[in-house]
Structure 1
Amino acid sequence: MLPASASPFFYWLALALRGQVTFMSTATIHQYAPKTAGKAPEVPIRHMDFKFDAKDLDTTFFKDTEFATAYFQALSIFLTFGEELVIDTARYHRQFLKDPVLKQRVTALIGQEAIHSKMHDEFNDTLAEHRYPVALYRFLADNVFEYGFKKLPNRMQLSLMAGIEHFTAVLAEYMMKNEAVFYETGDEKQRALWMWHMLEESEHKDIAYDVYETLSGNYPLRVSGFALAAFTIMFLVPLGGAAIPVYRKPTKLLSLRFWKDVKTSLVFLAGPKEGVYGSTVKHILDYMRRDFHPNDHDTTAYLEYYKEKLLNPKTGLLSPYLVKEFVPKLRA
């Protein structure tokens, strides 16, 4: 038994995994009013078709760096499994919700994540044609999720879902604030993929959290789910990304140019001023506040800007790839 004198965080995590944290049944709704109650914007489901072509792939997509770009390529591979966990968890817990608007929004979340998974799978197939370890990473991720995360109690999976969605919301907001990053490459389809994903992650950033708070609200368990999400996104994915350049060409380890690229990439990813995660640490850790809500970080203006820029029927970046768009029906 872990002593209570140990780090409170790990103590909570151990209890949560053992099912010893006091936690209401997922069928029992406690008193929680989402900050979006009565004014929640509709979340559409967009069917996309990017028709990826391996010959167009830019392997230095992110700021003309191979090492930093490899992080996002690894993220693309692993996130398809994260999307599936979110889909399964959201679908299971939807039945316990009483609010028809929240249920409708959960259906939209499921739809968006399903298309994300499909499009990234197609993109990952093009990575495989460039000697990326796609098959290996799919095998590893499948085992981590199938025999690890998906074996957790439903309440823990719900917490993990909320934690994952927090990280994707942080990443989406970073991308929204750094639009120029997308235009440092000629790879139009990869640009469109990430900008579309960025838009939709921000559109639905509060849904998983509202479901968690509605059906649980248990703070220690929420922190535990955040920890598992952080372990995946801040450790497993970077580890996979770091191995990609060497896997593709082992002799890079002997190249001074490669190590310069690594140094530059680490600044782009972890630098405190403009790094993807280094500059967003406060936002990431804000999740630890007891009264946290995703909409405390208002991205409304960014969403309006990017919807016009990306979805304008005549000039939108996504227009050539958008097949159809619809909002799920509101059901009692």
Structure 2
Amino acid sequence: MTGARMSREHSDPGEPDRVVLHARDVEFDWARLPMHWVPGEPFATHMINVLHLLLPEGERWFVEVFKQALPLIKDDHLLEDVRGFIGQEAMHAESHQGVVDHFDAHGLDTTRYVEQVTWVFRKVLGDRPYEGERREEWLVERLALVAAIEHFTAFLGQWILDAEELDEVGADPTMLDLLRWHGAEEVEHRSVAYDLYMHVDGRYGRRARAMVIAVVALTVLWARGVRYLMRHDPVLRGSRKARWRDLLRTGKLGLTPSYWQMLRALPAFFRRSYHPSQHGSTSQAIAYLAQSPAARAAEH
């Protein structure tokens, strides 16, 4: 397969052109995490909590797909980036798994939803008994899908770095640190999946199709996840349902990504001149990682 790595054009000339990616060995203590860690906002809490249920299996899948792609990489810098990406994504999966385990231990049974997510990533998107060129094509299809999903994770990473409203309402600081540490690394490595796809294939039609699939799949999984968490919340006991107007309300308050913010993030990916480095701030991400309580504790 052929493909060219797209040149990086930063929207801000003050942004670093390249950072060396590495996994940060962080730990989080969930002993004091309240069920509604956004005070008085169960919907906002669970709208974000869906990430904890999606990410462990999703990022383990990222890692496996990228490991399979290593022999296809002919660029030393890209190879270094991909290895750094793999390390970071593996750590993300384990860190979010800790939140899931905490929920399960405190009466919020996530088992059935997590089983559905596991089925999607291991069965629908997992390895298939293909050989030769067909096997490589299936690998590249999944690389395109990862590149599309990473567009959203970078958007969410930048959003959580900017979401001062969560601090103002007293959201749990340990949870905010997890989300911002993870979000900062998503912004930091936002170009890797796209660069890898462009290196091994690069066809526009394939990446556009991957984004359409990603939008549909993520919308369905997220909506199902919020409904599931609201229904199984041991504090609410089924007294509240996930409602469309709650998404609009919490989005306006800045407690969740707004519907319009998410929609506006889409068109950029479909531009032929698109590159992830054009969106988000690497310098802001690095600045947060330098002062993240969990990241600093790991360094010492």
- TM-score (structure 2 length as normaliser): 0.84
1:206–1:120 distance in 2 versus 1, CA, 3 Å: same
SS of 1:48's equivalent in the other structure is coil
Separation (CA, whole Å) in 1 of partners of 2:191 and 2:59: 16
Residue 183 of structure 1, CA deviation: 5.2
| Aligned match for 2:109, one of 120, 133, 138 | 133
| Aligned match for 1:96, one of 72, 91, 103 | 72
Give CA deviations for 1:182-230 in whole Å, capped at 9, x if unaligned.
Answer: 4533533212211111111111000000001111111111122212222
Separation (CA, whole Å) in 2 of partners of 1:69 and 1:210: 33
1:97–1:142 distance in 2 versus 1, CA, 3 Å: same
SS of 2:207's equivalent in the other structure is helix
| Aligned match for 1:265, one of 238, 241, 246 | 246
| Stretch moving more, 282-291 or 210-219 | 282-291
Residue 85 of structure 1, CA deviation: 1.4
For structure 1, list consecutive stretches of 5 or more residues without a partner in the other structure. 1-27, 311-316, 325-332
**What's the counterpart of residue 18 of structure 2?**
40
1:79–1:294 distance in 2 versus 1, CA, 3 Å: same
SS of 1:46's equivalent in the other structure is coil
**What's the counterpart of residue 25 of structure 1?**
none
May I ask how many residue pairs the two structures share in their alignment?
285
**What's the counterpart of residue 191 of structure 2?**
206
SS of 2:25's equivalent in the other structure is strand
Residue pair 1:71, 1:242 contacting (<8 A) in 2 also: no
Q: Does 1:160 align with 2:141?
A: no
Residue pair 2:155, 2:265 contacting (<8 A) in 1 also: yes
Give CA deviations for 1:259-316 in whole Å, capped at 9, x if unaligned.
Answer: 6x84663125555988514223222331111211111114134224323432xxxxxx
Separation (CA, whole Å) in 2 of partners of 1:321 and 1:96: 37
SS of 1:292's equivalent in the other structure is coil
Residue pair 1:168, 1:201 contacting (<8 A) in 2 also: yes
Separation (CA, whole Å) in 2 of partners of 1:201 and 1:57: 24
SS of 1:150's equivalent in the other structure is coil
For structure 2, list consecutive stretches of 5 or more residues without a partner in the other structure. 11-15, 129-137
| Aligned match for 1:248, one of 233, 241, 253 | 233
Q: Does 1:83 align with 2:79?
A: no
Separation (CA, whole Å) in 1 of partners of 2:26 and 2:253: 35
Identity between Structure 1 and Structure 2 (%): 22
Residues 47-126 of structure 1 correspond to what in structure 2 (within 5 A)? 47-53=25-31, 56-62=32-38, 64-126=40-102
SS of 2:126's equivalent in the other structure is helix
1:281–1:127 distance in 2 versus 1, CA, 3 Å: same
Separation (CA, whole Å) in 2 of partners of 1:286 and 1:63: 34
| Aligned match for 1:288, one of 260, 270, 294 | 270
SS of 1:45's equivalent in the other structure is coil
| Aligned match for 2:213, one of 220, 228, 236 | 228
Give CA deviations for 1:116-142 in whole Å, capped at 9, x if unaligned.
Answer: 001111111001123223221221111
Amino acid at match of 1:244: L
- TM-score (structure 1 length as normaliser): 0.77
